[in-house]
A = this chain, B = another copy of it.
Amino acid sequence: MRMSELSRRSGASVTTIKYYLREGLLPAGRQLSATQAEYDENHLRRLRLIRALIGVRGLSVSTTREVLGALAEDTDDTHRLLGLTLGAIRLADEAEPDSPEPAEVDALIEELDWNVHGSAPARATLAETLAALRTLGSPLDWRVLLPYARLAEQTAVLDLDQLDGIEDPLEVAERALLLTVLLEPALLALRRMAQENESARRHADATGN
């Protein structure tokens, strides 16, 4: 198909598609001549994925490029891919190398007996959250995170179950990416609603209502 059809079927404008090609998010089509190129279903899938990551989830173009790169390389190493995508979350870049939090994070992971890569960006995210709460005068002991982590374990089991029965490694990686990244706002939304519900429940209990 031509670029205009790609545009129609994906909802992205032709100029936006050109932009993604330039930025290396979308691989070039098959060149038919100097000024003609052809695209296939894979381009369409990829483009829809890009639109979801950027438009729905709000990832930056550069993050999206990294994530898609990981998708291309590590279709086998699914759990490495899952780790990689966290760079997405956009946490402040201001690393404080002298902060004591990494030790706390290490202690947490040790206590959990988790097998996670030492350089996982998730570690930095945790450390920074603890640091931020500390400077705000509401420090949080890492042990408070333990029960949260146990719930995260159960969430991860659900996540991985979703990938069962898919054979094609590329498809596994792509669905893993989708479920990891796109489900994040949904899970946070569930948490907010659950908080509202729990808060109302406790308030009702307290007033005997």
- By a beta-carbon cutoff of 8 Å, the part of chain A in contact with chain B is 45, 48-49, 52, 55-56, 58, 78-80, 82-83, 85-86, 89-92, 94, 109, 114-117, 120-123, 125-126, 128-130, 132-133, 135-138, 144-145, 147-149, 151-160, 162, 175, 178, 180, 182-203
Alpha-carbon gap, A15 to B22, bound state (A): 37
Q: How far apart are A1's CB and chain B's nearest CB, in angstroms?
A: 17
Residues A126 and B192 in contact, CB atoms below 8 Å apart = no
Contact indicator B56/A149 (Cβ below 8 Å): no
Please tell me if the beta carbons of A89 and B194 are within 8 angstroms of each other in the complex. Answer: no
Interface centre among A123, A158, A196 (most CB of B within 10 A): A196
Pair B122/A85 contact, Cβ less than 8 Å: no
Q: Are A115 and B192 touching (Cβ within 8 A)?
A: no
Q: In the complex, what residues of B have CB within 8 A of residue A180's CB? A: 192, 195
* Cross-chain contact A202 with B55 (CB below 8 angstroms): no
Return the contact of A155 from the options B48, B137, B148, B160 (Cβ within 8 A).
Answer: B148
Contacts of A48 in B (CB 8 A): 135-137
- A156, B89: Cβ atoms closer than 8 Å: no
Instruction: Enumerate chain B residues within 8 angstroms of A115, measured Cβ to Cβ.
Output: 196-197, 200-201
In the complex, which of the residues B133, B159, B160, B178 contacts A182, with contact meaning CB atoms closer than 8 Å?
A: B133
On whether the beta carbons of A149 and B86 are closer than 8 Å, the reply is: no
B158 pairs with A91, CB closer than 8 A: no
Contact check, B193 vs A109: say whether CB atoms are below 8 A apart. Answer: yes
